[in-house]
Amino acid sequence: MNDFDSALDDIARLREQLAASSRFQGLAPGVVALTGALAVTLAAWQAATNESNLFIWVLLAAICAFMIGTEAIIRARTLHRSMADRMLSTTLNRFMPVAVAGAIVGIVVLLRAPEHARLLPGMWQLLMGVGIFAVLPNLPRQMSWAAAFYFVAAAGSLSLSGQDGPPTAWLMGVPFGVGQWLVAAILHHASKGTSHGQG
């Protein structure tokens, strides 16, 4: 019985190592691109109405996370089959600390130090870049370009976050819109490569 238990433990460890090093294919390019379009749309609406409430961006982030997460679960169960739960768990475990950090920073700044809210777009973009790098072992290697874009965008947003800078809506919408479209393009290109490889 001990040998049997040991063999099961070895199999479980191998499956975890495989999940940790395999490419996660649950992210749908179309849904990711849609989140970029939503970011640009919200930025345009806020700029047109002189609305600068960043709580709306927190709500949009939650909606986008739900959209991407729901699609990821459905696709993972189709594409990864028996490995789906482990692939989802591995990817979430790598990205969730960054997502939670972004939520905490945003809520604390908006509630306790709203005078510094203009720094949030750059801080969130910086965390997005860190999050992509954290999940990079499970993503197409070209995704490092998207992470690098978010770092550059964060530097630009932070440097423009003074009172004389552009509206906060554009500091949020343009980088996240372009960034998500870049992520979607990389995912689309990678999915075509995978399908050609399987053919």
pTM, two decimals, is: 0.84
Average pLDDT of the chain, as a whole number: 86
Find the angle CA(165)-CA(166)-CA(169) to the nearest 5 degrees: 130
Say if residues 26 and 73 touch (Cβ distance below 8 Å). Answer: yes
Say whether pLDDT at 130 is over 50.
yes
CB neighbour list of residue 86: distance below 8 Å, 6 or more residues apart = 15, 16, 18, 19
Q: What is the band of 6 on the pLDDT scale with cuts at 50, 70, 90? A: low
Identity of the amino acid at 66: F
The set of residues, in sequence order, having a beta carbon less than 8 Å from that of 168 and lying 6+ positions away, is 46, 52, 54, 117, 118, 120, 121
Name the least confident of 28-32, 157-161, 193-197. 193-197
Question: Residues 46-63: what's their mean pLDDT?
Answer: 92
Per residue in 78-101, pLDDT (tens digit) is 887 667 778 788 888 899 999 999
**Is residue 128 predicted with pLDDT exceeding 70?**
yes
CA distance 64 to 81: 24
Predicted local confidence at residue 89, as pLDDT: 84
Contact 79, 69 (CB under 8 A): no
What is the rounded distance in angstroms from the CA atom of residue 121 to the CA atom of residue 158?
8
Inter-residue contact 15 to 86 (CB < 8 Å) = yes
Q: Give 152-174 pLDDT, tens digit per residue.
A: 999 999 999 987 889 999 999 99
pLDDT score recorded for residue 22: 55
